[in-house]
Structure 1
Amino acid sequence: MSLFTKLRSSKKSSKKEQAPSEIGIPFSVKHNIHVKINQSTGCMEGLPEPWLRLLQQANISSSEQSQNPTAVLQALKYYVHSIKKKPGEVKFITTTKTVDEESREIEDSITAADGHLATPVNISLPDLVEKESVQDKEVNDELDKVVKELETLETAEVPSQTTVLRRKPERKKLSDEEVMKNLKTIVSSGDPQKKYSLVKKIGSGASGMVYTATEVESGQKVAIKMMDIDQQPQKELIITEIKVMQQNKHPNLVNFVESYLVGDALWVVMEYLEGGPLTDVVTEVLMSEGHIAAVCRETLRAVHFLHSRGIIHRDIKSDNVLLGMDGTVKVTDFGFCAQIAPEEKRQTVVGTPYWMAPEVVTRKQYGNKIDVWSLGIMVIEMIEGEPPYLNETPLKALYLIATNGKPRIRNGERLSPDLRDFLDRCLEVDVDKRASAEELLKHPFLLKADSLSRLTPLIKAARVILKK
């Protein structure tokens, strides 16, 4: 029996009913939410009950709540927004334009702690007594300002306990038929089942499966991601995504090869790197500064290329840097890039907050320098074997990033002055002072880079240890 699988699901009816999730915010609402710090316990009071439970589960103590209430609220808001995202959804390419859209999403989201859209009916949060003053008036004022943005609804004051709802303005969307028609004009023609021979499945998820395969004619190994188009919530973006991937190729990116339509499935063919993710190396073997400099140089070349094309990666970490057995270093997992790393504790419901820049967590306007911060955290991975706060819950990690800014580096005094300065340039909280990828490519630390072939013994050793 052939290994090839056609991913099909039942056809959706052409006429869709209006779903509650398509209805916008209530027309006449009150935001009667008052948050205060209890002077005797130090805990926050007045938050929605599910949020209070999240704080307890995240081990954010009463003293931490009292010391930095703004950071607590910022972390909560980002976390609550993030957990509603389906882990199987394809991550689309991010540009500076889409950053603004996400910021508005976070501000406008009306999300319950279990990740479902909260219905405005029968939600009633009683007014609390007037807020007590806290010792630091500036902190209290800032707390009040952030609280006004809380995504919590009060039922509207209308007869019969119902809520008047306003519809969202509808966006122009392509129909499923239009999406498929457009896809057929940009994917490759022919039958991929004749061109490629599948070897084995190396990953699966809600959006599809990933296989290693061999091109029959050349014998070249590739990775193929098979996605059920019907399961993608933003089908029309797939067209833009494929075009962008076709136009952005670089020696340090895991490049898009081609794509095919097979029934209702989209097959995306990508480069395959047999050495696996950098994570295997950083967690199992010690890396010298020469090794670290080599990985940083290659990664920065990819990041600078993306930034020059107006693309922000937003998920730079060791899991998304793949290695060839010859020491090749390539960045993956932007857009449709096949993610072939195994599931680990690093893959959490909220994504990967441990590498996030402070300005992302605190919802300030941000740009491509968030990738430079994440690179700095990846350098700490290569030094210490893991990112800061990895053993904390995702919510606690978000709080610590918002509170601490630059993380403490263990035994930092053992690092060379060049590496310390490189890290300082990456992990600068002030975005204006943080180096760009282009500037870092000229940093003296990169002059220490070993040849890429020196990475091969590390890759082989990690594979032996992990029995790969």
Structure 2
Amino acid sequence: MSFSSLFKSSKRKHHPVEENNIAVIGAPTNVNHDIHVTVNDQGHLTGLPSAWVRQIGTQITEDEQSKNPLVVKQVLQYYNYSIKKGNQDGQEYKHIVTEKDIVEESKEIDNFSHSKDAHKSKDSILSEHSEKGDIIRETYPIRPPRKVDGTNLVQTKNLAQNFEDLTLVNELKGDVEIRNKSDSDLSDDDFMRRRSGLTDEDYMIKIKNICNPGDPYDYYERSNKDLGSGASGMVFAAVCKKSGQLVAIKDIDMTKQHKKDLLLSEIKIMKNFKHKNLVNFLDAFVIYDDHLWVVMELLDGGPLTDVVTETVMKEGQIAAVCCEVLHAIDYLHDRGTIHRDIKSDNVLLGMDGTVKVTDFGFCANVVGNEQRETMVGTPYWMAPEVVTRQKYGKKVDIWSLGIMIVEMLDGEPPYLREPPLRALYLITANGRPKIARWDTLTEKLQSFIDLCLQVDVDKRGTAKELLEHEFLKDCMELRTLTPLIRAAKKMLHKT
């Protein structure tokens, strides 16, 4: 038998279609999974990955799809990217966010649309990580209906800079970018930084050098009250022996942290962040050589959420809270930082009415169980440009403040009863939400909300501009919040 006969026979065995002179085409390589969305004659979206079509279900009507096809695409893209990103990073803690990070995230979202992951369903993304034992929770903060009758109303009715920029964090984050580049793409300086070859052990040494070298038990007396636990460790209450100040100590298991370079940069930054309206970083210790104890302020009044859901706030009290939160936002913005998650849950109160913003950097998850969020940020407080990526920057915090005012008026943000995907669609498609009690508000408060909830980012106020607004001149004293805090604690059985 000739060689050609053997070759021919072999081909027939695997590709019998050749007997009928049908060409055999090999499997494609380097497939580009780009997404091109169009609307057909029936007004239906076409070109979406099948997994995305299934996700839409009944959450976005066919009429909405035909009217706003681009919005639907952007929402699905952002939603699925957020889930994938949250599961990849594990959100060991919330990193300080700069505008540079926002630009990089936008590029990642664009790249996500061209990846095979964009064609996976949410369920398949989540199941991949569930099999690994990860904790997964849909960001869907359903709250009980606000109580506005009975003793609640009776009780509430008669109630009387030396740190210039984030150059440091950008330099250290640059180390991560450098390691992801090929040698030919690096500048001479970056090439030398890579060649320095800093290992996790090297970063641990640097972390130890900037932490308090003493024994934390010499400074703080641990209480029996655990505040929560999660994948990165646990949080417990303690008292400063010198001042008597109540503190929260977050115990981070360093063996489970994969980004020790970012840990190092954030410790350095947080040590320079000191403001009366921030939950401040106080100290850090390395114990047992592999555990990082981060000490932060702890407020005993609980989150603003308890007050907005259980009591009725006067406009002067709303003004007081807004003023304090704006001072914190302005401080962060001046240092190139975007909070990206302003909401009542992240505003903590002292029993004296002190107002402090939390949940950024190491201050994330200081109270309550630390569970994974599957969204980047919380959708109900999210500005439209977060999804559309147009002029996305510091002013997202101002929009979120506006939504938090709606919370203080109505007890919850708009669309809270909607699933996250539909909430994202409504926020992006509708822009500014309707406020049921609008006609009952003073002109000053209406004007203030107008400046916060401008869809056009250029027309939205800055923190500095809002701090000069007439509405804030009507602030009531912070101590008037104390009866509200006590009433909320009683109703929630937290006393």
With the length of structure 1 as denominator, give the TM-score of the two structures.
0.79
CA contact (8 A) 1:348 1:394 kept: no
Deviations 1:82-120 (A, max 9, x none): 11213542111111221111111111223333474999x
Per-residue deviation at 1:205?
Answer: 1.6
1:132-281 paired onto structure 2 within 5 Å: 169=181, 172=194, 174-199=198-223, 200-263=225-288, 264-281=290-307
After superposition, the Cα gap between the structure-2 partners of 1:390 and 1:344, relative to the gap in structure 1 and judged at 3 Å, is farther
Partner of 2:8: none
Amino acid at match of 1:447: K
Per-residue deviation at 1:65?
Answer: 0.9
Amino acid at match of 1:323: L
Per-residue deviation at 1:376?
Answer: 0.4
SS in 2 for 1:300: helix
Partner of 2:45: 44
For residues 427 and 396 of structure 2, what CA distance do their matches in structure 1 show? Answer: 13
When structure 1 is superposed on structure 2, of 393-402 and 196-205 the one drifting more is 196-205
Amino acid at match of 2:357: V
Partner of 2:4: none
CA contact (8 A) 1:209 1:226 kept: yes
Deviations 1:22-79 (A, max 9, x none): xxxx994434655333444x432331121112111x6111111111011111111111
CA contact (8 A) 1:252 1:299 kept: yes
SS in 1 for 2:485: helix
Deviations 1:163-219 (A, max 9, x none): xxxx96359474211110110111111111343222211111222211111123433
SS in 1 for 2:266: helix
After superposition, the Cα gap between the structure-2 partners of 1:344 and 1:229, relative to the gap in structure 1 and judged at 3 Å, is closer
CA contact (8 A) 1:319 1:341 kept: no
Q: Which of 75, 98, 121 lines up with 1:113 in the alignment?
A: 121
Partner of 2:62: 62
**Count of equivalent residues:** 393
Partner of 2:476: 450
Amino acid at match of 2:245: Q
SS in 1 for 2:362: coil
More helix by share: 2
When structure 1 is superposed on structure 2, of 376-385 and 169-178 the one drifting more is 169-178
Amino acid at match of 1:198: R
Identity %: 54
After superposition, the Cα gap between the structure-2 partners of 1:33 and 1:245, relative to the gap in structure 1 and judged at 3 Å, is closer
For residues 105 and 399 of structure 1, what CA distance do their matches in structure 2 show? Answer: 21
For residues 452 and 92 of structure 2, what CA distance do their matches in structure 1 show? Answer: 30
CA contact (8 A) 2:221 2:239 kept: yes
With the length of structure 2 as denominator, give the TM-score of the two structures.
0.75
For residues 254 and 168 of structure 1, what CA distance do their matches in structure 2 show? Answer: 34
Task: Give unpaired runs (5+ residues) of structure 2.
Answer: 1-27, 129-178, 183-189
Q: Which of 468, 481, 486 lines up with 1:460 in the alignment?
A: 486
Per-residue deviation at 1:343?
Answer: 6.0
For residues 32 and 312 of structure 1, what CA distance do their matches in structure 2 show? Answer: 31
- The Cα RMSD (Å) is 2.4
Per-residue deviation at 1:299?
Answer: 0.4
If you compute each CA radius of gyration, which structure gives the higher value, 1 or 2?
Answer: 2
Q: Which of 435, 440, 443 lines up with 1:417 in the alignment?
A: 443
After superposition, the Cα gap between the structure-2 partners of 1:321 and 1:439, relative to the gap in structure 1 and judged at 3 Å, is same
Q: Does 1:285 align with 2:334?
A: no
For residues 217 and 273 of structure 1, what CA distance do their matches in structure 2 show? Answer: 18
Task: Give unpaired runs (5+ residues) of structure 1.
Answer: 1-25, 120-166
For residues 102 and 34 of structure 2, what CA distance do their matches in structure 1 show? Answer: 30
After superposition, the Cα gap between the structure-2 partners of 1:453 and 1:51, relative to the gap in structure 1 and judged at 3 Å, is same
Per-residue deviation at 1:325?
Answer: 0.3
Amino acid at match of 1:193: Y
Amino acid at match of 1:247: N
Partner of 1:75: 75
After superposition, the Cα gap between the structure-2 partners of 1:348 and 1:236, relative to the gap in structure 1 and judged at 3 Å, is closer
Q: Which of 383, 388, 391 lines up with 1:365 in the alignment?
A: 391
CA contact (8 A) 1:318 1:381 kept: yes
